[in-house]
Amino acid sequence: MEIRDLPEKPEKAIVVSDLRRIYRSSKGVFRKKQEIVEAVKGISFEVEFGELFGLVGPNGAGKTTTIKMLTTLLTPTSGAAKVLGFDVAKDVIDIRRRIGIIFGGERGLYYRVSGRENLRYFADLYGVPVSKRDKRITDLLDLVGLSDRADTKVEGYSRGMKQRLHIAKGLINDPDVIFMDEPTIGLDPEAARETRAMIKGLVEKGKTILLTTHYMFEADELCSRIAVISNGKIVALDSPSELKKFVKDITVIEVEAFGLANTDLDVLRRQADVTNVSAELEGERQIVRIQTPRGSEFIPTVTKLLSRAKIVDIRTKEPTLEDAYLKLVA
């Protein structure tokens, strides 16, 4: 991988030091009341060249705000951050020239023109030489599997196709560092799998990637290191295998049931031998994951506490990265 046009290669691709971001808003018309939200409360981390670094956390934790500061869309309130040796507050154009941004979603594309025209426009904005532009667009469309729909209007694209076009757009300037904010959100499993394969391919080509995601299995699969951010602070930063050690003494009891009430879950949470309880809905079934150091011995207690519901299945599992994440952000 070459770092182009840099006077000297920095040691790290991204360096973040005590970064903070405060949002100020006001309520009311005549007697305005100011509201202050500290979205990022002094985070620090470094990303190596060629690394796929994950930033995970619940909604509102500060992931997107962090990415926007690093991509120069927001100015930090205090602290410092450097991308490829350039300061995010001062060297804005130098950073923008060398990074790619993939935020994804339904918006962010010009929907009444074709995918190719979208890429051509952004290629021009990034200053891609005309001699290289069209070939690069063709190669990117091949990479993301949109060659046969390149000249169709974006309004006719499926969700997955739009996401792939976002990826192509994020690579149009052949960036050294790529920032991806939840690149697989809202995609069907096949499209999500293809996207993850593409991301792995980019890392193999030597790109540095900082990725945020809600999906722990995705972070586990892709990332060499993960920072867990909660309420604006980094609560853990390590490789997936090291993070799982946070829950190495824990067993997860997974219960499939119908008719569980929130009060049942609250009762579980109050048990001394329970470190965490999470629940999700799969169709009409409720899946409850209970973290406990007592292992399978705790199953009779769980069955008794959840006796008002109809339990379909109950099993023990090894803790995953998701369990470690849930413990860290709880």
Partner 1 sequence: MSQLHFFADPQWIIPNVIAPFIFTAVALMFFQNVSGSLALYAVLGGGMMGMWGNTLYGAGFALGFDRWNGTLEYVLATPSRLVWIVAGRSASSAVLGLVNAIAILCIAVFGYRAELGIANPVLFLLALVLTLASLSSLGVLFSSSFLLTRSASVMTNGLEMPIYVASGSMFPIALLPFWSHPFSWSLGPTWGIEAMRYAAYGELGLGFWIDILVVFASTIIYLAIGFWLFGIVERKVRRDATLVEY
Residues lying near partner 1 in the complex (CB under 8 A) are found at 23-24, 68, 71-75, 93, 96-97, 101, 103, 105, 107-113, 117-118, 121-122, 124-127, 153, 169
Least distance to partner 1, CB of residue 51, Å: 22
Smaller CB separation from partner 1, 98 or 327? 98
**In the block, residue with structure tokens 């000249």:** 151
**Closest CB to partner 1 among 171 and 250?**
171
Helices 130-143, 159-170: axis angle to 10 degrees equals 140
The token duo for 6 is: 């840099």
257 to each of 44, 113, 311, 314, how far by Cα in Å? 42, 48, 4, 9
Least spacing, CB of residue 95 vs partner 1, in Å? 9
Minimum CB distance to partner 1, residue 94 (Å): 8
Strand order in the sheet with 86-87: 33-47, 14-27, 78-83, 86-87
State which residue, 171 or 243, has the beta carbon closest to partner 1: 171
Nearest by Cα to 4 from 133, 176, 125: 176
As measured in angstroms, the least distance from the Cβ of 84 to partner 1 is 13
**Contact 283/242 with Cβ under 8 angstroms?**
no
Smallest distance, partner 1 to C-beta of residue 281, A: 30
Q: Is the separation of the CB atoms in 111 and 155 below 8 Å? A: yes
- Shortest Å distance, C-beta 187 to partner 1: 18
Residue 99 or 187: the one with the smaller Cβ distance to partner 1 is 99
Q: Smallest gap, in angstroms, from Cβ of residue 189 to partner 1?
A: 25
Exposed/middle/buried for 87, CB within 10 Å: 0-12, 13-18, 19+?
A: middle
Which of 72/275 has CB closer to partner 1? 72
Six token digits for residue 66: 């962090």
The residue type of 64 is: T
C-beta of 93 vs 272, nearer to partner 1: 93
**Coil, strand or helix at 27:** strand
3-state secondary structure 279-318: EEEECCEEEEEEEECCHHHHHHHHHHHCCCCEEEEEEEEC
Q: Confirm if 217 and 193 have CB atoms less than 8 A apart.
A: no
CB of 97 to partner 1, least distance (A): 4
Q: Give Cβ neighbours of residue 292 (< 8 Å, ≥ 6 apart).
A: 250, 251, 253, 273, 274, 275, 298
| CA neighbours closer than 13 Å in the CB half-sphere of residue 230 | 10
Closer by beta carbon to partner 1, 101 or else 150: 101
Residue placing its CB nearer to partner 1 in the complex, 181 or 194: 181
